[in-house]
Amino acid sequence: MEAFIEILKYTFPAALMLLLTYLLLSNFVDNEEKRRAFYLRKDLQKKSLPMRMQAYERVIMLLERITPNHLVIRVMPGKLTIGQYRKTLVEAVRQEFDYNITQQVYLSDEAWNHAVSAKSQVISLINKIAGTLGSEASASDLAKELINAEIAGDIFPTKAAILLIKHEAARSF
């Protein structure tokens, strides 16, 4: 029994020191790993922030370009029939959207869904107004009605999406 107590006198402090060393080293390694992950995230964010800001700019430009008053100025009615002009406007909206579709990688799902919704609502508005005017109306009539519809609304869908994207971009800082 005395031999057992003698062995315990030497092994217990050694085991206690081993456990304490393990806990300290484990804590140190965890903290070091967290520190490296933080600096890696910080460096990645520093590199990706300019790309995200550029994506916000491009999506806002897309939304501005498909807003009816800008769209009508860019795509002049000329001598087109109302059907041809409607088709030209819808195609211009779709081309703008397709050109900027990759920007969704840098935006939140909510912001991108607002941009998609705004595009769909603009196309729907073009088709709706063209349908109510009838085939006897001119392309200029369609252009005027599109501008009037934008003016009549409280906040047009493209403007709402722009505001949301601006807020999201501001939160990135």
Q: For residue 137, count other CB atoms closer than 10 A to its CB.
A: 17
Which pLDDT score, from 0 to 100, does residue 10 have? 84
The one-letter amino acid at 72: V
Which pLDDT score, from 0 to 100, does residue 172 have? 75
Token pair, residue 144, equals 């005027």
31-80 confidence digits (pLDDT tens): 999 999 998 888 877 887 888 899 999 999 999 999 998 999 999 888 88
Q: Could you tell me the residue ranges of all domains in the chain?
A: 49-171
pLDDT tens digits for the chain (173 residues)?
A: 788 888 888 888 888 999 999 999 999 999 999 999 998 888 877 887 888 899 999 999 999 999 998 999 999 888 888 999 999 999 999 999 999 999 999 899 999 999 999 999 999 999 999 999 887 888 898 999 998 888 887 678 899 999 999 999 888 76
pTM equals 0.74
**Helix H or strand E segment including 145:** helix 139-152
Q: CA-CA distances (angstroms) from residue 95 to 8, 26, 81, 99, 149?
A: 81, 56, 21, 6, 22
How is residue 83 annotated by DSSP?
H
Distance CA 147, CA 120 (A): 17
DSSP-based three-state secondary structure for 105? helix
Nearest residue to 92 via CA among 40, 143, 52? 143
